[in-house]
Amino acid sequence: MKSESLRLRHRTFVCGCAWMALLLAVHVRAEDAPRVPDFSISTPCDWYKETRQTNQWFERDQQPRQQLMAIYSRAQESGIAADPAQVKEAMALIDEADASLRKALEDLVTRCGWPSRTAFGQAAVQSAYMVVQHAPLDYQLKYLPVITAATAQGEFEKRHLALLTDRILVRQQKPQRYGTQTRVIDALGNAEMFPIEDEEAVDRLRADAGIVPASICAYASMMNARLKRCEGP
């Protein structure tokens, strides 16, 4: 049960957890990478029509994850391990939603480029980010250059890039930088932090990236995740 719970919870957004790591970094060919957009107000796309679709993405992403969180919440409240069949069903719904949203984002980027905040608004950017955040490692690496460029130009939030950075690092079997990723350690949903590069600097890095709460100990408490430095003597 412990290993099954670990595998499943890594893949959820609601717990701030990373999916099971792919062991090696994936090198993206230049011709496969999405184009860096021209962050201007003009766009060749009918963004009113486009946003009618992207405005649905957040709900489509979160609904099955909320179902999984509810299963773990009931387990913690009752002290009884989560029903594996219910967890499996919830995970299947998450996988189905994620695959559909990745296809939708690919279509959007092919036609319109990566959505910028200036041209298309924060909601569209948030929706696109959510899709990448919950995608496989190769998909995340494909979009990382575009997201990095957007962040440098003020078109993408630093805290979201920080979270994506941590997920990629964890999947590559490396210590995370900002302390955003946790892993489940039992069938009740209790968790612990993945290793952190520099625990002395992590609060400052979190603050610089706009992550709330900036305190890693406050975040660990909020996520019900163990971190030895926060447990006291």
User: Has residue 94 got a pLDDT over 50?
Assistant: yes
Q: Average pLDDT, whole number, for the chain?
A: 83
**Domains contained in the chain, number:** 1
> Mean pLDDT across the stretch 156-168?
96
Helix (H, G, I), strand (E, B) or coil at 193: strand
Least confident of 73-77, 115-119, 170-174, 229-233: 229-233
- Give the tokens for residue 198: 């520099």
35 within domain boundaries: no
- As beta bridge partners, residue 37 has none
85 close to 68: Cβ distance less than 8 angstroms: no
What's the CA dihedral at 46, 48, 52, 54 to 10 degrees?
A: 70
What is each CA distance from 65 to 3, 16, 204, in whole angstroms? 20, 11, 30
On whether residue 38 sits in a domain, the answer given is: no
Nearest to 5 by CA among 201, 183, 127: 183
pLDDT value for 34:
64
State which residues form the domain around 62.
2-19+47-230
Residue 33 located in a structural domain: no
Asked if residue 225 is part of any domain, the answer here is yes
Look at residue 26 and tell me if it is in a domain.
Answer: no
Q: Which of 170, 180, 171 has the alpha carbon at shortest distance from 214?
A: 180
| Across 51-60, 74-83, 92-101, 116-125, least confident range | 116-125
Residue 59 lies in a domain: yes
